[in-house]
Amino acid sequence: MNIVDSSGWLEFFINGPNAEVFSEPLSDPAKLIVPTISLYEVFKVTLHRRGEDAALQAAAIMYQATMAELTAELALSAARVSIEHKLPMADSIMLATARAYEALFWTQDRDFEEIPEVRFVPPYRD
C-alpha cells in the first residue's frame, strides 16, 4: 500500500520535475490510501491556484483510491507521531495513517527525510 503526501499529489497534478516519481504510486489506485487531510490540502491549494473545476477534477482522481478518515484512534496516534518526530499536525496525521495501513509514505517534504518507512524524494528546487 502507498500514501502520497499532498506535495506529491500537487507535483503530479502540475507535472512538476518530480511528477514522474510520484506517478509510480499514483498509477495504482487499488494500492493507494488517501488520508482525508491530504484531500483537504490538495483541494484547497488547487482551488486557490487553478479554480473550482481543476480542484474538483483533482478530488475526483483522489477519490479513486481508498479514503482514510481521521478517527479518534488515528488522532491519538498522530499526536504521538508528532511528538516523536517533531512534526506539525497535518504531517503527523499523514505519517500515522501510513503506519496504520502499513503503507509506504511518499513525500518531498524534508521533515520526513530520515524516517525509515518514508520514500523521500528530494525536491527539485533545492
Residue range 32-65, pLDDT digits in tens: 999 999 999 999 999 999 999 999 999 999 999 9
Q: Please name the helix (run of DSSP H) or strand (run of DSSP E) that holds residue 40, with its range, or none.
A: helix 36-50
The residue ranges of every structural domain in the chain are 2-120
Chain segment 81-117, per-residue pLDDT in tens: 999 999 999 999 999 999 999 999 999 999 999 998 8
Confidence label for 124 from pLDDT (cuts 50, 70 and 90): confident
2-120 architecture in CATH? Answer: 3-Layer(aba) Sandwich (3.40)
pTM equals 0.93
User: Averaged over 12-20, what is the pLDDT?
Assistant: 95
Residue 126 has pLDDT above 60, yes or no: no
pLDDT at 125: 65
